Amino acid sequence: MGDRFDRLGVRHANVEALLRRPGIGHNNGPTFDMSWEAWVWRRATAKAWKTPKPEVARMRLKRAERLGITYKELASVIMDSGAHLGAAVLPLSLAARVRRGPGREIIVEPRNSIADLVARFRGRLLVLGDIDAVPALSDAERAEFLAILNRAFDGKVEAIGWGHDGPAVRDFLKTNAVPRQEAFLVGAGMAHRVLGESAGLPLVKDIEGWFAQ
């Protein structure tokens, strides 16, 4: 009768899982890997995340607070690349709305609370201007755009670059003598995450979590 049940193919999809379920005392956690590779990985992870000396921890925490990121994000970059974050790249489309005034002048309007976040930032701030995010600019207007932008952001922006892909970000950082290992992108959504990764930046910080901790 059992054979006939199997041949009919009406066995419930969960039967196999139920037959293979762990016995009494199992907490349904993942299988404990006893391999040499897993042991080495656990040992290296524990060593990497070992609490540093108090003065080092305090220094890292203060830097993370100045940049608006978490201690863990800062420490992860240090462990991955040995570099210390100190600069942020902020897409102009997130920072402000750019439009023409009645006299064709360029007007920059900071978005929501972004101006407050920028005011709290204590690092090198570079803004990446997507060409499609601003009205068509003449060469003269583009040369003056940084000054216009800084009137809206109280002089906090060090430089403005133009582009919308990884190579543009790398060129922008190189022009301003910022090693890419020391810069992170403040973004929103998958498109900015891909942009940061393609530029080789060690961290992409979601703008919703910037200075949120």
Q: Along the 213 residues of the chain, how does pLDDT read in single tens digits? A: 445 445 445 555 555 555 555 656 555 555 666 787 777 777 766 666 677 788 888 999 999 999 999 999 998 898 888 889 999 999 999 999 998 889 888 999 998 789 999 999 999 999 998 766 677 888 888 889 999 999 999 999 999 998 889 999 999 999 999 999 999 999 998 999 999 999 999 999 999 999 986
User: What is the C-alpha separation between 134 and 144, in angstroms, rounded?
Assistant: 14
Give the model's pLDDT for residue 43: 73
Give the model's pLDDT for residue 61: 92
Which bin fits 177, alpha (ψ -120 to 50), beta or left (φ > 0)? Answer: left
96 phi/psi in degrees, rounded to 5: -160, 165
What stretches of the chain show up as alpha helix (H) in DSSP? 2-8, 15-19, 36-48, 54-67, 71-81, 92-95, 114-120, 139-152, 166-175, 190-198
Give the model's pLDDT for residue 42: 76
Locate the domains of the chain by residue range. 83-209
Give the model's pLDDT for residue 142: 87
pTM of the model: 0.76
Of the candidate CATH numbers 3.30.750.24, 3.40.50.1000, 3.30.390.30, 3.40.1410.10, the domain formed by 83-209 belongs to 3.40.50.1000
Give the model's pLDDT for residue 193: 94
Environment class of 105 (CB within 10 Å of its CB; exposed 0-12, middle 13-18, buried 19+): exposed
